[in-house]
Structure formats: structure tokens, C-alpha cells
């Protein structure tokens, strides 16, 4: 086993499949695995390869979301991150 242990850059800078540049942003994405139905997640920070639509998500986040066995089936850049409207008095 000569694998390099995962370094801190869990999200690469270019696509490992097509070497395309990755678009780092926030995405809405769907994941599915063998046992569960497709699940949608919103506002996931990650990096998307535009040419091949491969979504790279931080491994730690993948674990938190319970998606270790899942694969991304769909991803689209979140148009805008919705934020609770600041209804401050003015």
C-alpha cells in the first residue's frame, strides 16, 4: 500500500477524469446509493467539473451527510444561496 494518505486538500483543483477546471461554488445535488432512494441536498459547498459534471465534495462533508456509499447523480450550481431575509428595522 503506497497510497498517499489523503492530504488536506480533499477537493482537488482540477477534475481527475478530464483534467477540466473545477467550478468551486455551492451546489444543489442529488445522491443515491444501493439502499436508499435518491436524496436531494441543497447548498452543498463543492467543486463541479463543468465538462463532465463530476461533483467533488469534501470527504468530511460526505461522511457527515452519510453519503460514503452514494454517488452523485445530479448537481447544479445553486443560483443563489437563500438566506433568511434580514428583516431588520430600518
Q: Which residues bind Zn ion (CB under 5 A)?
A: 15, 17-18, 20, 49, 52, 54
Cβ closer to Zn ion: 19 or 60? Answer: 19
For the bound state, the minimum distance from the C-beta of residue 14 to Zn ion, rounded and expressed in Å, comes to: 8
For the bound state, the minimum distance from the C-beta of residue 17 to Zn ion, rounded and expressed in Å, comes to: 5
d(CA 64, CA 24): 20
Burial (CB count <10 Å: 0-12, 13-18, 19+), residue 54? middle
Scanning the structure block, which residue is given the C-alpha cell 454517488?
71
For the bound state, the minimum distance from the C-beta of residue 27 to Zn ion, rounded and expressed in Å, comes to: 15
Amino acid at each position: 500500500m503506497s497510497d498517499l494518505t489523503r492530504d488536506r486538500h480533499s477537493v482537488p483543483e482540477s477534475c481527475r477524469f478530464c483534467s477540466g477546471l473545477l467550478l468551486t461554488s455551492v451546489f444543489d445535488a442529488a445522491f443515491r446509493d444501493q439502499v436508499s432512494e435518491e436524496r436531494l441536498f441543497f447548498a452543498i459547498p463543492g467543486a463541479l467539473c463543468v465538462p463532465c459534471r463530476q461533483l467533488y465534495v469534501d470527504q468530511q462533508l460526505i461522511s457527515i451527510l452519510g453519503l460514503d456509499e452514494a454517488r452523485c447523480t445530479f448537481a447544479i450550481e445553486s443560483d443563489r444561496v437563500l438566506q433568511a431575509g434580514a428583516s431588520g428595522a430600518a
